[in-house]
Chain A
């Protein structure tokens, strides 16, 4: 079954603006990961945040995790046209030995 739901489904912004994507999930997790998928390509891992962490940064990416609300957000600061892609959250429930992916957010950054 689908674990994560992402919001919004699609987001269109101007270059230089910040983009925020949200992910909600249903069960307890070991960690949560964010992936990016360019059109016609495979998914690429961006960042992993563990269940005992609240915030993590990597370059222009900032991820937060609220386990009490079962939600996470991905913030991309100072977006670029090259950030145009689909972004997916994925949850690792631990013993399941698999990642369950959300429905994805299609981000379009206009030059």
Chain B
């Protein structure tokens, strides 16, 4: 059973389009994240949700909107896609205990290419 699964794995789309990436975890974790990995493999956190509540929102354009219908799902919707949005997007989850973020479990990534 896949612990953190995200779909689609590949997404190729035109500039200006709207797209969504879905993520689900079956680990029972209470915290989920979206990270963006650029072409130089630098990983930057975008959002973090704890029990469906947004707790981290880094300086991400408001064209990016996360949605957490329940604590096992964290989807990412992107409006008006731009060339610079091309990257690999990773979903992750962890069980936060007190101030301890814990070990992150990552999905396999969704490679977004904007033409």
Which A residues fall within an 8 A CB radius of B?
2, 30-31, 33, 35, 37, 40-45, 48, 86, 88, 90, 92, 94-101, 103-104, 106
Contact = CB atoms under 8 A, between A and B. Distances in A.
Q: State the majority secondary structure of interface residues on A.
A: strand
A40 to B, nearest CB: 8
A100 B108 CA distance: 19
Contacts of B92: 43
B106 A43 contact: yes
Contacts of B66: none
A101 B50 contact: no
B100 A30 contact: yes
A57 to B, nearest CB: 17
Q: How large is the interface on B (under 10, 10 to 19, 20 to 34, 35 or more residues)?
A: 20 to 34
Nearest to B56: A98
A97 B32 CA distance: 11
B105 A45 contact: yes
A22 to B, nearest CB: 17
A53 to B, nearest CB: 14
